[in-house]
Structure 1
Amino acid sequence: MEYCNRIEISGGHSKSPHTMSVEDPPPRSSHRHRPKPRLERYLGFLPMLAFAATLQASWESLGSSLYAGLLNGGPVAIVYGMILSFVGSLSLTLSMAEMASMNPVAGAQYHWMYELAPVAPRFLSFIQAWVTVIAWWANVAVGPYLVGTEIQGLLVQNYPSYRPRNWHGTLLVFAVLFLPLLVNIFARRLLAPVEVLSGVIHILSYPEIMVVMIVLGQRHTNEFVWTEFVTDQSGWHNKGVIFSIGLLTAAFTLSSFDGVIHMSEEVNDASRAVPWSMIWGLVLNAFLAFGFAIVLLYTMGDFQKALDSATGYPIIEIFYAQTGSKAAASAMMLPILLSGCYSSFNVLASVSRLTWAFARDEGFPFSSFFSHVSPRCKIPLRSLFLVTTITVLVALINIGSSAAFNAVLSLDTLALYISYLVPILFMLIKRIRASQDIRWGPFILGKLGIPINVFAMMYGTYITIFLPWPETQPVTASGMNYGAPVFGIALLFAVIDWFLRGHKKWNGPTVMTAPK
């Protein structure tokens, strides 16, 4: 299989080096002209659609993140937040899909940044690469952590004498990571059928859960579901702030849609398959999540009991209230637990490819080592081990301080949204100033491009403003949202790395793929 349709040595933005600046590239070293490591193309549209659907795992993610929405705004924030988040996420996805069609490559955002940035493309693409990589490193730990703490919540419900400890959760994170790691290493060819099987579980378990809730759950009124605006739980008093923080439940549910793009170099006809799998994956997930949210609110039982659940997860208390059985509630949690497991297959695969791409383009430390592709496994094995090791180290933080661990996790969505916004901004500028110079792919937004890009920027900026806000007031050390300061540290690290090492090594992406 060909690795890409063509290989270019990036030089469109280069000037002769003379000083250490963000604009001036260093001399190109001879090893940049050597053949770049390849990945085999073996994935089609259907596995990628399942990849997108199960990576977001929308209705399961909504169940796991329900607390924030109930605490701030309640039903109004969840129902109308889902609608707003779908429209906003669709605009972001369409904007990203167009760029993915132009250049379907594992590095994604930093490649597009280099091609589209009107100034300092080397510096900006290098910073973008680090922001995207660090965001996805944090993302790897989210699924296993949710599964681990949900298992602890079920233990609390079923065994009242159980006292959860942080180190229990850390061990559960390790356990959830183990099988996805093995499959990624030894069963690469099984990834496609595993994705399809996971997609089938994602879809088929949905009506089963819905039927149980509809048949057994107590009924709330239409007024509760569509007009109840909860303002007396979090300590915040401004209704706009309350809705905006509650909206983050829906925003989290429909995020991470760029994960498919980082698998592009293993996808046949990637310039078509990747954009459409992103779009249809989001539409399918939004449809399922919205239906789940409506039925859940109609049948959730006592609102306060769900919010104050000793398990830490309102969804566990809601399932118990609906069925009246701890065993049945545990069984209903199984699809949600499985979603965290099979999404870890996808996240590990996607993030290892992203890390590998940054190393292959010589921006990552020890690039020649981490850009290696195992000839036996045919995957970037060293990058996979690096990502897994980082996740293990992050999980170990939880033993000493859950606040510090949550600070790392809070970086995830904030950094991802920022990694979406900057390339879209530069795409919008390029579209307005010189659309004739854009190397379009098969998927083109056409005349709708400008309004879609503008709305994507507006929605993404709005979400980014409220992502770092704490859920409750007054703010305590344990309740503080550390997303903004942690992101600031990550950004400072990237800038320091540029001046210490990057300006010498990084000359932009070395591999470009042209759409067929």
Structure 2
Amino acid sequence: MTTNTPNQTVHLNTPPEVEMQAMAGTEPEQGATGAKRSEENPRLPGRPKQQLDRYLNFIASLAFSTTLLASWETVGGSLLAGLYNGGPSAIVYGLIVSIVGNLAIALSLAELASVHPTAGAQYHWTYVFSWSALVCIAPFFIGTQMEGLIILANPTYTPHRWHGTLLMWAVSIIPIVTNVFARRLLSGIELAAGVMHVAFLPIFIGVVAGLAPARSADGFVWDTLVSGLSGWKGDGLVFSIGLLGVITPFAGIDGIIHMSEEVHNAPRAIPRSMIWGTVINGIMAFGYTLCILYYMGPYLSAVVTPTSYPIIEIAYQATGGSVRGTALLMALGMLPGWTAFFNALASVTRLVWAFARDEGLPFSGVFVRVHETLRVPVRALGLVSAVVVLLSFIPVASTAAFNAILSLSTLGLYTSYLFPLGFLVGKRVFGAPGDVPKGQFSMGRWGLVVNMVAILVAMYFSLFLPFPPTVPITMENMNYAGPVLGLVMLFACVDWVLRGRYRWTGPTMEYARG
């Protein structure tokens, strides 16, 4: 039987010949188990109903992917990690490693996305939790940078940890409301954010290079390795621990995949958006990093700044001590970073919704509902928003604990990448030639090499992300990413034994042919 339905559903456990028929637009009368398709058994291949509207074209999806990473803005926010462990040369060379490694991961995931463009992607419990933590980065950075600017403008101000929590809430309100009631504005917001993300960087670089009183020597930027501040010994170890500051800007390269069921011609648009988004962000982050390192001013002043953000001190030094000039420079990074939060909320909401759709969450029936009028999974968005609010309380107790949550988000994402990439490599090496279906994007004979590079990079990053930033290790500076990840995985195992194994049958795949 043939069908002209524009969207096809394919189950991951579907045999390859059935999957290929469904992707081509031809449906078998019976499913993989021999049972006939029916409304009572919607999980068999070919479910025709499209639950979300496809309203994003390629340009919008590219802007979404590019802005979601917010690479150069995040480099500024996480600069302290590299300055404390490794210094300028470690940041530069570490960024090169991060760009090349993440591009390999993006290329590998793009191959999978061209065959299986679904809102779920490589989700599992760790992955869902990681994205929930990652979505907190934007409100945390922006809220606490606002607090840093207040400290700069008013030295007598006494900051309290709960001030940052309130600022996080203030930053989050408009993106949450927009995602609920103005979903179709997201396309325009993504385009505007993409323009700001690209256009504001040369303005920032031009102002800093034009106003900074002095330029650092080439040797300072390319040859200076700092290893005495954190207590860690050994150049290689210090370099690896300091990578957090250049890895975090590229965490979430798969974010656009979770919008697949709202993108036209997703098998083609999603891979292109991921790859070009990573390339564009890599170029911009590298240019930004060179600028701030060449014009950063006194090194220790940036590291021990009372604002807690070296980038604020660097901007302050570059503008000749102008508070207003510093605030304007910081706004160039904070504004596109804030608009990226709109995208992050939308992406992780679709991830949670897709997981609930496949009975992966407790109370999945509650969170899978799509509002009939708003055409948004409002309950899934409410769950994500609740997680953001709950995580915002962590800085009240311990800033180190919140930083561990941020480390966990990055650690969980790279760990989750290892699963699909590992299976993909296994299929390439041990499977038959037809076991790896080709989508509209394929690396051909280079696929295995790129996949192996992606796996090695993800393993390397995952190994050092849980390391505490300083020694000796105390309860205050401990990096809790490892223990928290273990607890999340333990919870996942318990949930699987008690509930998941009886209800989970694998993700449902929705394909767009037009």
TM-score normalised by structure 2 residue count: 0.91
Q: What secondary structure sits across from 1:372 in the alignment?
A: coil
Alignment of 1:465-484 (within 5 A): 465-484=463-482
Closer, same or farther: CA 11–201 of 1 in aligned 2, 3 Å: closer
Alignment of 1:11-22 (within 5 A): 11-12=13-14
* 1:3–1:41 Cα contact (<8 Å) kept: no
Deviation per CA, 1:162-181, whole angstroms, max 9, x where unpaired? 11111111111111111101
Closer, same or farther: CA 237–182 of 1 in aligned 2, 3 Å: same
Query: Which residue of the other structure, out of 177, 196, 203, is the alignment partner of 2:198?
Result: 203
Closer, same or farther: CA 403–291 of 1 in aligned 2, 3 Å: closer
Amino acid at match of 2:184: R
**1:400 aligned partner:** 397
Alignment of 1:495-510 (within 5 A): 495-510=493-508
* 2:401–2:479 Cα contact (<8 Å) kept: no
Closer, same or farther: CA 417–376 of 1 in aligned 2, 3 Å: same
User: Which structure 2 residue ranges, 5 or more long, are not aligned?
Assistant: 16-32
1:71 matches 2:64: no
- Cα displacement (A) at 1:10: 5.4
Deviation per CA, 1:38-90, whole angstroms, max 9, x where unpaired? 10111011111111111111111111110011111111111111111111111
**Identity percentage of aligned residues:** 47
Deviation per CA, 1:451-479, whole angstroms, max 9, x where unpaired? 00111111111111000011111112111
Q: What secondary structure sits across from 1:365 in the alignment?
A: coil
* 2:64–2:256 Cα contact (<8 Å) kept: yes
Amino acid at match of 1:442: Q
Query: Which residue of the other structure, out of 238, 242, 262, is the alignment partner of 2:238?
Result: 242
Distance 1:6 1:337 in 2: 40
* 2:424–2:436 Cα contact (<8 Å) kept: no
Amino acid at match of 1:146: F
Distance 1:208 1:245 in 2: 31
* 1:37–1:372 Cα contact (<8 Å) kept: no
1:286 matches 2:282: yes
Alignment of 1:176-325 (within 5 A): 176-217=171-212, 218-324=214-320, 325=322
Distance 1:430 1:329 in 2: 53
Distance 2:6 2:491 in 1: 32
**2:19 aligned partner:** none
Closer, same or farther: CA 473–268 of 1 in aligned 2, 3 Å: same
Q: What secondary structure sits across from 2:200 in the alignment?
A: helix
1:88 matches 2:101: yes
Distance 2:6 2:52 in 1: 9
- Cα displacement (A) at 1:318: 0.5
* 1:358–1:364 Cα contact (<8 Å) kept: yes
Amino acid at match of 1:478: E
Closer, same or farther: CA 3–334 of 1 in aligned 2, 3 Å: farther
User: Which structure 1 residue ranges, 5 or more long, are not aligned?
Assistant: 14-24, 111-128
* 1:131–1:491 Cα contact (<8 Å) kept: yes
Deviation per CA, 1:204-236, whole angstroms, max 9, x where unpaired? 111111111111111111111111111221111
The structure whose RCO (Cα within 8 Å, separation 6+) is larger is 1
Distance 1:256 1:340 in 2: 14
Amino acid at match of 2:119: A
Distance 2:110 2:294 in 1: 35
Distance 1:3 1:493 in 2: 40
**1:345 aligned partner:** 342
Deviation per CA, 1:178-206, whole angstroms, max 9, x where unpaired? 11011111111111111000111111111
Distance 1:296 1:208 in 2: 13
CA RMSD of aligned residues (A): 2.0
* 2:469–2:477 Cα contact (<8 Å) kept: yes
Closer, same or farther: CA 226–309 of 1 in aligned 2, 3 Å: same
